[in-house]
Amino acid sequence: MDSARGWVVVGIDNGGTSNNATILDASGRFLVDRLVEMPSRVTEGPEVAIDAMAGALENVLDLTGVAPEAVRGVGLDTPGPASADGVISSKGATNFSEPEWRGFDVRGALEARLGLPVVYNNDANAAALYAHHIRYGDKAGAHSSISAIVGTGLGGGVVESGRVIKGAAGMAGELGHVQIPMHGLLAEGQPVPVCNCGFVGDAESVASLTGIMRNLLPYWLTRFENHELSRVGDIGAAAKKVRGLGERGDPLAVAIFEQQAIAIGRLFTIAANFIDPDTYFLGGGVVETTPRFRQWFLGKVREHTDLREEQTRVATFALVPDLDMAGARGAAIAAFGQLQAPVRARTSL
Ligand SMILES: [Zn+2]
């Protein structure tokens, strides 16, 4: 092993059921090309979950034969909401429902457990960083991008000059809660959608699984009488079937996805005027569909993103790649970026 490859960073993507780990070496190469998963045990509280993260690190080191002494630091990402430095929201978080998690410093706890520096990002920010770096490689520092990640909620990330914009309280890139114009998006008689955060008409109230369940599906079922989804007793279960129906061209599902594409397009229009990024990335469940459906959806998003002519010439629209590995890899890239700078240079600032 030459000296340039003498150290590594480990990326750990912490989720509701599993931790996914990866290793990035000093030359910028990932040492695993697949998911390396271990149970995350987050429902058993912080102490057990921190041990599980340490276990995920040991497991990926064993698997690759990398010596523990070679690890310079760890990149960690978790679902939010959390502070920029990895303190879980004091109001609680969907993934961290036990009371001990409220206000828990997950980054600090893992750092103390491992005796290694830990760099924290929320999961959407980590995925955004990965998408950006895969697209731009060693030119990452010269470009900007925005990523919208559609899942249960609508997460996202903004990358400028190769770095995630975190904001003062860690809440930059909370794209889901940006309010968007509803005029021309809603159909006749359709109620203004409401978000879990309390806002009306924000991007997540339309472009998320929660938005389908709470807002879009209840309305569209009134427009398609005797639709098969009206016979699914539970609205949550029905909402999860919309994606599959959309892939098969079901008109109700297509109407829902068109509204979601318009919502994301309007969100990207705000982004165009606010940060004017090089690339607009789309990720999440909607991307984990048939190639034909996701290209149709991405095309719709692009159609509803209102760019100036100068922007149209330089902007690109793309899908977040390797979505299941994007969190761990993005977390590792973030740690790599912070830990490769000589310590003296960082502390002298
Ligand atoms: Zn909201």
The string of DSSP letters for 66-129 reads --GGGEEEEEEEE-SSB-TTSBBPTT-BTTB-SGGGTT-BHHHHHHHHHTS-EEEEEHHHHHHH
CA of 199 to the centre of ligand 1 (A): 5
**Residue range 64-82: mean pLDDT, rounded:** 94
CA of 103 to the centre of ligand 1 (A): 21
pTM, to two decimals: 0.91
The per-residue pLDDT for range 236-277, each reduced to its tens digit, is 999 999 999 999 999 999 999 999 999 999 999 999 999 999
CA of 32 to the centre of ligand 1 (A): 36
Contact 86, 80 (CB under 8 A): no
89 confidence band (pLDDT: 50, 70, 90): confident
CA of 222 to the centre of ligand 1 (A): 24
CA of 15 to the centre of ligand 1 (A): 21
Contact 34, 340 (CB under 8 A): no
The CA distance from 116 to 240, in Å, is 40
Main-chain phi, psi angles of 264, to 5 degrees: -70, -40
The CA distance from 310 to 325, in Å, is 34
CA of 204 to the centre of ligand 1 (A): 6
CA of 21 to the centre of ligand 1 (A): 30
| pLDDT at residue 95 in the model | 82
CA of 197 to the centre of ligand 1 (A): 4
**Residue range 27-31: mean pLDDT, rounded:** 94
**Residue range 222-243: mean pLDDT, rounded:** 95
The per-residue pLDDT for range 285-314, each reduced to its tens digit, is 888 889 999 999 999 999 999 999 999 999
CA of 177 to the centre of ligand 1 (A): 4
CA of 258 to the centre of ligand 1 (A): 20
CA of 202 to the centre of ligand 1 (A): 6
DSSP 285-313: GGGSS-HHHHHHHHHHHHHT----HHHHH
